[in-house]
Structure 1
């Protein structure tokens, strides 16, 4: 076979190998994107669950992460047990070109362009390869263009080549006597996985895509209005019935609504939230305040939040807890509702509960007690 025929055969083999390598890289990239996407979704689910205090979402994200770690560990063990490191072969190589990239240390990184000539029994023709290797500053003069060096390469990974800086006497003699022709440029081989930047980009795309799917799925809860963040609450609104309800829970040190000024401040916050001071019911507990309303009702059938004597309510709670027969009160609640009839103001009812039972007292809009029901009394 002539030189032209040999070149065509080499090109056909090279094209076939590149096609198989390209398909392998595509499948590896697809697998990497899928795994990265699942990982990103799991991390995002864990974070979203913590933000929303949603236990099922937290469990899903955490469980997926644990499963990925376990599968990765098992896959790594199987792969390491199945794959044996390729055996290196010693050969001679012609130095086509070399260039030192820096000279600050004793070992200088040098970029080599080589023609590797495998042994005849390896069944592989000579080929080009470019490598980078650190060479001691003292040994650099031994390497020159068109010189012969002893190298180690791996038949399964022909791009994995290293110069043997301390060859055996036999190989040193062969390197001194050998003459190697330059291989054509088309025989240049490269590491198919050398594009680390592309793989990193695929990982980043997968992570972002997976996280975006989870975040967009919970966008309604995550990107609620500013009023709905910061305090746990229940809120509902219907433009058809024109009714509304909302609540807020206070927390932290000195968070009891019995603290002076806390009730009025919290009521003003709820008023701003529902955008009206007129409500049909107000409920106050130790750490929670809630309102309900119907914007279709006239003011006479509602309670005006700003007109209530919040400063007197702690005294009413104290009166109910100490004078109605509940020796060890466990909870209390204030319910404010509109009065019945013309000219009748809102009604205030304080209810306390304990091991003995439930008791209550009623008051008017000025904080004056109008009725008492101790433990055990009917009505």
Structure 2
């Protein structure tokens, strides 16, 4: 009895949108996992390299530790994947050869691209559908396959695009193939592997990897891109040419507040160029003004490095001071940065807010962590 594909066309077209929806729903979590893992990997590699360049053991430990953890997770995931049960067994079916084309010929096994109409058995509950596959066929067997002919194939019900032509079928299936007449399935029933977009996945992983690495480099850019001779120059003994200095700059315009992302660091770089040194003794930051002063005769331990401060965290400290210190509707704010009081202590950051109820402030360390509050 012949097997046709036309009688089940409607069912195949109805099933097609469902398959697409499932593929899209399953692809989103995979994309998120790839993005997170790639970005964390890039950040870990960058942290390891930055730590080695800056000779920072804690940074080296964090980067190396995260890399080791990722390797262990990958190894455990591989073991768990290999321990899972075998995929569903392949089903045997007949298929109409719509078209075939050899893509090589240097060896006895020739790669051939097939366009097939697969007609699953009625008990499989699946309509006939089209698929494109590539399979190596021995030169001896190629004459047995021709357009319009019938071949015996194996396919997986859970992955209908995974089809393989059986070149040596069982006698029963050979007889069925000789007697079968399969109608071509419409092009709308063509199925393909939803995960076969390797180029897009690779591009997504590469972008996430570079983004993670760039984030780490951005956090340490002050130290990475400080001229190597700056510390050496600061260690020179004081001489009659030592000087004190102070300068300030004002930004204007309704949307030019120094709380805007990146504005503080850019202004600090401008002031560093003016005074020709990154080491200062005091920094004052207001909404539209930044000022520095210093003494070139002081050693680095009694100064603050302009590019080593976490300017990106200062807007958050200002918001916290405005909302948690009991000063309602504060009209102004100011950040004062001074060197640490003792040896080995980092810079001290004080955020002061002023309103109708009075003045209050909070203190933070060089990492932006609040260490003390003095509410109204």
TM-score (ref. length: structure 1): 0.60
Partner of 1:175: 177
Deviation at 1:181, TM superposition (A): 0.7
Distance 1:35 1:234, change over 3 A: farther
Deviations 1:275-319 (A, max 9, x none): 9xxxxxxxxxxxxxxxx9549xxxxxxxxxxxxxxxxxxxxxxxx
Q: Distance in 2 between matches of 1:83 and 1:147?
A: 36
Deviations 1:325-373 (A, max 9, x none): xxxxxxxxxxxxxxxxxxxxxxxxxxxxxxxxxxxxxxxxxxxxxxxxx
Structure 2 counterparts to residues 188-203 of structure 1, below 5 A: 188-203=190-205
> 1:59 aligns to what SS in structure 2?
helix
Q: Distance in 1 between matches of 2:12 and 2:108?
A: 41
Cα pair 1:242 1:294 within 8 Å, conserved? no
Cα pair 2:6 2:184 within 8 Å, conserved? no
Q: Distance in 2 between matches of 1:7 and 1:141?
A: 31
Question: Match for 1:136 among 138, 146, 149?
Answer: 138
When the two chains are superposed, the root-mean-square deviation of aligned CA atoms in Å is 3.1
Q: Distance in 1 between matches of 2:243 and 2:120?
A: 84
Unpaired segments ≥5 residues, structure 2 = 247-274, 277-294, 299-376
Cα pair 2:12 2:128 within 8 Å, conserved? no
Partner of 1:85: 87
Partner of 2:68: 66
Partner of 2:55: 53
Q: Distance in 2 between matches of 1:125 and 1:144?
A: 23
Partner of 2:244: 241
Deviation at 1:78, TM superposition (A): 2.5
Runs of 4+ with deviation above 3 angstroms: 3-10, 231-237, 239-243, 292-295
Structure with bigger gyration radius: 1
Partner of 1:95: 97
Deviation at 1:127, TM superposition (A): 0.5
Cα pair 1:151 1:163 within 8 Å, conserved? yes
Higher relative contact order (CA 8 A, sep 6+): 2
Deviations 1:192-211 (A, max 9, x none): 11111111111111111110
Deviations 1:26-47 (A, max 9, x none): 2101111110100111011011
TM-score (ref. length: structure 2): 0.60
Cα pair 1:101 1:111 within 8 Å, conserved? yes
Distance 1:136 1:236, change over 3 A: farther
Aligned residues: 246
Structure 2 counterparts to residues 367-378 of structure 1, below 5 A: none
Deviation at 1:169, TM superposition (A): 1.4
Deviation at 1:105, TM superposition (A): 1.5
Partner of 1:376: none
Unpaired segments ≥5 residues, structure 1 = 244-273, 276-291, 296-379
Partner of 1:25: 27
Deviation at 1:58, TM superposition (A): 0.2
> 1:28 aligns to what SS in structure 2?
helix
> 1:26 aligns to what SS in structure 2?
helix
Distance 1:143 1:72, change over 3 A: same
Deviation at 1:224, TM superposition (A): 1.5
